[in-house]
Chains A and B, each alone.
Chain A
């Protein structure tokens, strides 16, 4: 009697139960380090194997230390990184969207070849050219400032055109033509029609290009070392790495608190932007 409604429902219930069980296990595994980290940052006695601080053993000292300790200017690091990430994400978003628009809409010789080349180049890890990039920065006289990272990150931004291009490709070309006939130019098409329709992809690009520089360690570390930049000019990733190598009790607590502080802007950014992250904006443009 496998097709009795009762037994079918029972099977469905079991299936759902299994799925939820798997999801819960996965999310616990995934969330555990974060939660553990947060609790660690609240421990009075650091490097405890305990998960939860327990009554009387928890404190905000690590956070207070983090912002008051002169040896490790965390606030400075945080601000440096924030400035770099904000400028990079703004410039990068503009470049990515413009490149994507050009590759989606303008027909020119070598377009296909260029797209493939950029795709392949983008597959190589960026730090392959680290040495060369540093020499270039040196030639330009920019090797002594951490803010030259903005230039480094933004320079390669057009490589990640393809997701935005894929989105622009779905916007009907007759909209472009309507603008041209209405008296606009390709510029008008981009700024007045394509961009307002592309909120989700703009948000996506901003998020991606913010998180990249925010967490990047490789370039930061290299420029700091090679350019002998003093501690006040570091990024958070470089600074936190220093804390882990010192391995003292103080440093461990600071590291945990610093790691929690680092995650705040990204979380905030995501919560702020996610309400624009809705689909269906293009509905009704053209007959679908």
Chain B
């Protein structure tokens, strides 16, 4: 059992196709995670990367606490169930299940116990001696599950395990898998394209499309709060109803007007769209309205607002309920794609026939609204921006009351404009802005509060102590704000959150050759010396421990002569008995086998004779019958008919007989094989048990007789391990890598180097990197890159210097946090705090750190 962490996982194929992009998830121990999406969305690829069957192009995969990117599958302690079962056809069910443990050299008795346990859990005890070809699809998949669970893996991976089963078996197996998860409490990762499986099995579901994660949420949250139109449409059957609409905010209501049909607008309350940006509410943006079939009703009270006329086209009766298919306007012709078709869930046909026009009421509390352009929801659970109205005049801005406009905001005059402030740019407790909390809520694990000041409402992140009615002080980082005028034109954009600097990756020798800086070489020597120092101590400790242990063993060895003799006598006797037992068992086995073969040969003979007899009788009967008929019957027509039927019989008889014979013989063969398998399996098990026991006895004897050599062997292995580790560490210490910006070389911390090499392998030296630096990530250093300060940027609470430099011929603009007074025109020599940066491979835009 283990947790699992995927960080910025990419899968990029050699042709540049990104099968998986920037996959991030934190999976807790014991969770049941389902990856769902249409085919080609990268879900199976992700699973195979977790299994180690597919290389990870970039990013980090942790199982438990260990990074497993480069671990082969067998060391990851995972188990996998394949869509096509992947059972070994030449092995019996027992051998199939035991195979993994045999490879891991688990003792026989242990394996047997575990196989029996798994067979019990999955109801396979009767089939242990069968081969996969003699089993049905459901049974085979159960064997495959058994093979996976009996190793008690940290993570169970299931790749569309039910896709090859029929509908009934599928739902049965679904509940079995669910039960299994509850029983084992292991982390499950399950891939499927079937959203019903996803919804019923997962504790959390990952919806994917075109290699990107769309949403990670609990099934209920996916159903109730899809983040975009894709998720809304993918989750839930029948599909959600979608319509093109526009939104218009009026005094105390918001009207939803239909674009493709003439229906009365729906009416929403303003509270429902509080988290929605105001620009969507002006009536000129295309919006997609979505609601599910149970959120529109033709049965309850259909008066008042939010009622639409539906023309019924057809019904789908599902027994307990009926789906009414209709349209919001008259559509000509059947099957025409309509933008206004609607599905309504009802308890029955309600006495209607196709063509009827009925009234239906939409429950507007649960509708979904998506931006037609981006298809993202416009009422997110956690908004990322607040958009507020603003006026700017005479260096003053009217936002939360009149306040001086920060110098750096390049806006002189705005009337009825807007400012968009990210929630991340608002800090609670520091600034001068006073607000009052109107309400608080917890969404997706975050506490957010709706606050008000100067008649304006906005959302902020708060901690859990904040309550409704509290008064808070806020400060706002205006460098992150976007200003728009009354016509929606952007008049001031936010400063980039990070500055991009280009770099290439070089090794120590390249850096040294270019700079002739002896310090670099010295650095390497120091690192090597540190490792030497560490291992000197380790070796000393090791030698001491070894000497102690050997002394102990010697003492024991000299004092136990009598004991050895006793033990040796006892074990030799035991071994002799075991050998007798083995030969007895082998004899028995051969007898049994011969007997079985004989028995089956007889059975076969009897069965063949039976079939022969049966057909002989049939033939005789038909001949007699025919003869009699020909003698007695004089009607030419019926004589002809009888002749035809007789000749058909004659022709078909051998075919019928041979197919009947084949069936009988096959089924006998099959029984024979199962019987033989059982005998063989029992024999090979007993044989291995006995041989293992003898081997153990011999080992025990050798160990007791000569403990010193055992201790020596053990410590020789340990010494080898230490030397191996030492060599690794020395190698590591010698490897130093640098980022090169122009002629400046900056050493890269080891943990970042590892991640970069992890992502790109030996291609690192030919790639160009984008180092995205935070404004606080600059250090002045005499051998740094030249940047010239061009201006002072004052955003009130945030003060920065803008500086311009040239890196590899590219004009590079950076913003530096004000840490000291700088002069305009001053040249700075800068290096970068790489720990605080983000590092991307430029060409494919893959994040490496």
- Chain B residues with Cβ below 8 Å from A182 are 74, 99-100, 103, 147
Of the listed stretches B85-93, B376-384, B409-417, B706-714, name the one at the interface; the rest are far from the partner chain.
B85-93
Report which of B79, B87, B88 forms a contact with A181, defined as CB distance below 8 A. B79
A284/B103 contact (C-beta < 8 A), A178-B80, A180-B53 known: no
Of the listed stretches A21-29, A150-158, A169-177, name the one at the interface; the rest are far from the partner chain.
A169-177
Chain A 165-199 interface mask (CB, 8 Å, partner B; 1/0) = 00000001011011111111100100011001100
Majority SS at the chain A contact face: helix
Does chain B have a CB within 8 A of A242? Answer: no
- The minimal Cβ–Cβ distance linking A237 to chain B, given in whole angstroms, is 39
- Chain B residues with Cβ below 8 Å from A114 are none
Whether A178 contacts B89 by the Cβ 8 Å rule is no
| A66 to B192 Cα, complex, angstroms | 73
Whether B133 contacts A283 by the Cβ 8 Å rule is yes
- Chain A residues with Cβ below 8 Å from B74 are 180-185
Whether A284 contacts B84 by the Cβ 8 Å rule is no
Does chain A have a CB within 8 A of B73? Answer: yes
- The minimal Cβ–Cβ distance linking B341 to chain A, given in whole angstroms, is 37
Does chain A have a CB within 8 A of B822? Answer: no
Interface residues of B in 79-135 (CB under 8 A from A): 79-80, 82-90, 99-100, 103-104, 131-135
Whether B53 contacts A285 by the Cβ 8 Å rule is no
- Chain A residues with Cβ below 8 Å from B651 are 9
Closest to B131 in A: A284
Interface residues of A in 234-288 (CB under 8 A from B): 281-287
Chain B 14-57 interface mask (CB, 8 Å, partner A; 1/0) = 00000000000000000000000000000000000001110000
Does chain B have a CB within 8 A of A56? Answer: no
Whether B644 contacts A5 by the Cβ 8 Å rule is yes
Whether A286 contacts B88 by the Cβ 8 Å rule is no
Whether A188 contacts B86 by the Cβ 8 Å rule is no
Whether B647 contacts A286 by the Cβ 8 Å rule is no
Whether A281 contacts B90 by the Cβ 8 Å rule is yes
Interface residues of A in 1-15 (CB under 8 A from B): 5-6, 9
| A282 to B332 Cα, complex, angstroms | 55
- The minimal Cβ–Cβ distance linking A12 to chain B, given in whole angstroms, is 10
Chain B CB within 10 Å — which of A6, A180, A183, A185 has the most?
A183
- Chain A residues with Cβ below 8 Å from B90 are 193, 196-197, 281
Number of chain A interface residues as a range? 20 to 34
Does chain A have a CB within 8 A of B164? Answer: yes
- Chain A residues with Cβ below 8 Å from B99 are 179, 182, 192
Does chain A have a CB within 8 A of B137? Answer: yes
A286/B87 contact (C-beta < 8 A), A5-B647, A180-B72, A183-B100 known: yes
A285/B135 contact (C-beta < 8 A), A181-B78, A181-B80 known: no
| A182 to B104 Cα, complex, angstroms | 8
In the complex, how many residue pairs between chain A and chain B have their CB atoms under 8 Å apart?
91
- Chain B residues with Cβ below 8 Å from A282 are 89
Does chain A have a CB within 8 A of B229? Answer: no
Report which of A9, A177, A184, A284 forms a contact with B87, defined as CB distance below 8 A. A284
Does chain A have a CB within 8 A of B368? Answer: no
- The minimal Cβ–Cβ distance linking A7 to chain B, given in whole angstroms, is 12
Chain A 39-71 interface mask (CB, 8 Å, partner B; 1/0) = 000000000000000000000000000000000
Whether B89 contacts A285 by the Cβ 8 Å rule is yes
| A188 to B140 Cα, complex, angstroms | 22
Whether A284 contacts B140 by the Cβ 8 Å rule is yes
Closest to A199 in B: B90
| A283 to B103 Cα, complex, angstroms | 24
A285/B644 contact (C-beta < 8 A), A172-B84, A197-B89 known: no
Whether B87 contacts A183 by the Cβ 8 Å rule is no
| A183 to B150 Cα, complex, angstroms | 13
- Chain B residues with Cβ below 8 Å from A283 are 89, 133
Whether B135 contacts A180 by the Cβ 8 Å rule is no
- The minimal Cβ–Cβ distance linking A88 to chain B, given in whole angstroms, is 28
Closest to B88 in A: A193
| A177 to B53 Cα, complex, angstroms | 7
A287/B72 contact (C-beta < 8 A), A5-B644, A181-B51, A183-B100 known: no
- The minimal Cβ–Cβ distance linking B784 to chain A, given in whole angstroms, is 42
- Chain B residues with Cβ below 8 Å from A177 are 51, 53, 73, 80, 82, 86
Interface residues of A in 126-183 (CB under 8 A from B): 172, 174-175, 177-183
| A193 to B90 Cα, complex, angstroms | 8
Report which of B78, B79, B87 forms a contact with A285, defined as CB distance below 8 A. B87
Report which of A5, A9, A172, A180 forms a contact with B73, defined as CB distance below 8 A. A180
Closest to A174 in B: B86
Whether A285 contacts B132 by the Cβ 8 Å rule is yes
Whether B103 contacts A286 by the Cβ 8 Å rule is no
Closest to B78 in A: A181
Whether B84 contacts A174 by the Cβ 8 Å rule is yes
Chain B CB within 10 Å — which of A5, A6, A281, A286 has the most?
A286
- Chain B residues with Cβ below 8 Å from A178 are 80, 82, 86-88, 147
- Chain A residues with Cβ below 8 Å from B644 are 5
| A188 to B89 Cα, complex, angstroms | 15
Closest to A6 in B: B647
A284/B53 contact (C-beta < 8 A), A172-B86, A175-B86 known: no
- The minimal Cβ–Cβ distance linking B372 to chain A, given in whole angstroms, is 43
Chain B CB within 10 Å — which of A179, A283, A287 has the most?
A287
Chain A CB within 10 Å — which of B51, B87, B644 has the most?
B87
Interface residues of B in 608-627 (CB under 8 A from A): none
- Chain A residues with Cβ below 8 Å from B132 are 284-285
Whether A174 contacts B135 by the Cβ 8 Å rule is no
- The minimal Cβ–Cβ distance linking A112 to chain B, given in whole angstroms, is 14
- The minimal Cβ–Cβ distance linking A281 to chain B, given in whole angstroms, is 7
- Chain B residues with Cβ below 8 Å from A196 are 90
Closest to A198 in B: B90
- Chain B residues with Cβ below 8 Å from A285 are 85-89, 132-133
| A4 to B89 Cα, complex, angstroms | 49
Report which of A9, A175, A287 forms a contact with B88, defined as CB distance below 8 A. A175
| A283 to B666 Cα, complex, angstroms | 15
Closest to A175 in B: B86
- Chain B residues with Cβ below 8 Å from A281 are 89-90
Whether A184 contacts B88 by the Cβ 8 Å rule is no
Whether B103 contacts A287 by the Cβ 8 Å rule is no
Chain B CB within 10 Å — which of A174, A175, A177, A182 has the most?
A182
| A188 to B88 Cα, complex, angstroms | 12
- Chain B residues with Cβ below 8 Å from A181 are 51-53, 73-74, 78-80, 100
- The minimal Cβ–Cβ distance linking B317 to chain A, given in whole angstroms, is 34
- Chain A residues with Cβ below 8 Å from B135 are 284
Q: A-B pairs with the 9 shortest C-beta distances?
A: A284-B133, A182-B100, A285-B89, A286-B84, A284-B132, A174-B86, A178-B86, A283-B133, A183-B74
What are 30 contact pairs spanning A and B, CB under 8 A?
A: A174-B84, A178-B147, A179-B99, A180-B52, A180-B53, A180-B73, A181-B51, A181-B52, A181-B74, A181-B78, A181-B80, A182-B99, A182-B100, A183-B104, A188-B103, A197-B90, A281-B89, A283-B133, A284-B89, A284-B133, A284-B135, A284-B140, A285-B85, A285-B86, A286-B82, A286-B84, A287-B83, A287-B84, A287-B85, A287-B140
Question: Other than the known A182-B103, A284-B132, A287-B83, what 10 A-B pairs have Cβ atoms closer than 8 Å?
Answer: A6-B647, A180-B52, A180-B73, A281-B90, A284-B131, A284-B134, A285-B86, A285-B87, A286-B84, A287-B85
